[in-house]
Amino acid sequence: MPALRLMALITCALLTACASHKNAPQQAASVPETSFSTEKGVTFSPGGWPEVLQADLYRPDGEQQRPAVLLVHGGGWERRSREDMAWIAEELASNGFVVMNIDYRFAPEHTFPAQLYDLQLAMNWLHEQAERYQIDRNAISAFGFSSGAHLVSLMALVAESRHPLNRPHGGDNARPAAVVAGGLPGDLRAFGSGRLLRQFLGGDQQDMPDAYQAASPITHITAGAPPFFLFHGAQDMLVPARQAKAFRDELEANGVENELYLMYLRGHITSFLTAGNAVDKATAFLVRHSGSTQKQTENRD
């Protein structure tokens, strides 16, 4: 086990009790752990896409239909890779999810909404490949951290609200059954015009306020939004915890099911490196919603 991961696990064990969980269920859902296989470097972008995009697929053993999760890494929309999320992919796969852990295009070479389009492409690919990978099309969720949380949240919300950003690459398939968002920058307007936002959106907020608003997930929340599980470092100085609280309040105002897991004594990076307990609770959240989606489908049939 890499030293950094080992240190993170030890730290997480010490800090497990330092968290609060809003709207938590009285009893968490759980499933027996299962073995899985991994298929690395699967190309999901079509020919002619501006950049070749790849993903790692994690597939639980067995022939039955499975729920799935689109997994998206952070990095300020400009760096990092899907390798950061591999440990979360393994956790989800061992709990019975088919996991698509993706890369996407980076700023400043590619400005918004290129990254959103990449996620929408991946969601549609999962639906197209559902039979091949034994995926339940009605139980495909999304999970992201930091800029990845921003992208999965925005994708889910513009799909529900039928915003123009849901075209031409989104559609109904781009709406996940549930969303997990860690360290979420939900309202980009609150950050002014820092370097990351300027290169992501292509300019200053004062010159393009509509773009900053359109790229902010919180502005797209409607009563039809999917359930959200939020986790956030209470001492996050990069993406302040008030971002998660404001996002939760807007979900509440619209009657959208949600949970908020605040991790005390954690900043932005440490809330990811020590996210073991949060990921466990997020996994249980996805299990519950995948199960309820499957039951609703069975009832309709």
Q: Tell me the average pLDDT across 219-228.
A: 98
For 155-193, the pLDDT digits (tens) are 999 999 999 999 999 999 999 999 999 999 999 999 999
Higher pLDDT, 299 or 286: 286
Residue 75 CA, chain-centre distance (Å), reads: 13
Residue 10: the pLDDT is 45
Residue 298: the pLDDT is 37
Q: How far apart are CA 136 and CA 206, in angstroms?
A: 44
Q: Which stretch of 7-16, 77-86, 180-189 has the lowest confidence by average pLDDT?
A: 7-16
Q: Tell me the average pLDDT across 83-89.
A: 98
157 contact partners, CB below 8 Å, separation of at least 6: 163, 217, 220, 221, 222, 225
Residue 300: the pLDDT is 31
- Share of residues in the chain with pLDDT > 70 (%): 88
Residue 26: the pLDDT is 56
Per-residue confidence band for 24, with pLDDT thresholds at 50, 70 and 90: confident
Q: How far apart are CA 264 and CA 239, in angstroms?
A: 14
Q: How far apart are CA 281 and CA 25, in angstroms?
A: 10
Res. 25: pLDDT tops 90: no
Domain 42-290 is in which class? alpha beta
| Average pLDDT over the chain, rounded to an integer | 91
Q: Tell me the average pLDDT across 79-86.
A: 98
Residue 7: the pLDDT is 47
Q: How far apart are CA 77 and CA 20, in angstroms?
A: 29
Sheet (strand 228-233) strand order: 19-22, 258-263, 228-233, 179-182, 135-145, 66-72, 98-102, 54-60, 36-43
Place of tokens 């820092």: 194
Per-residue confidence band for 59, with pLDDT thresholds at 50, 70 and 90: very high
pTM to 2 decimal places? 0.90
Do the Cβ atoms of 101 and 125 come closer than 8 Å?
no
Res. 216: pLDDT tops 80: yes
Residue 200: the pLDDT is 98
Residue 18: the pLDDT is 66
Domain boundaries, the chain: 42-290
Q: Tell me the average pLDDT across 76-81.
A: 98
Q: Tell me the average pLDDT across 6-19.
A: 50
Residue 188 CA, chain-centre distance (Å), reads: 17
Res. 294: pLDDT tops 60: no
Q: Tell me the average pLDDT across 130-144.
A: 98
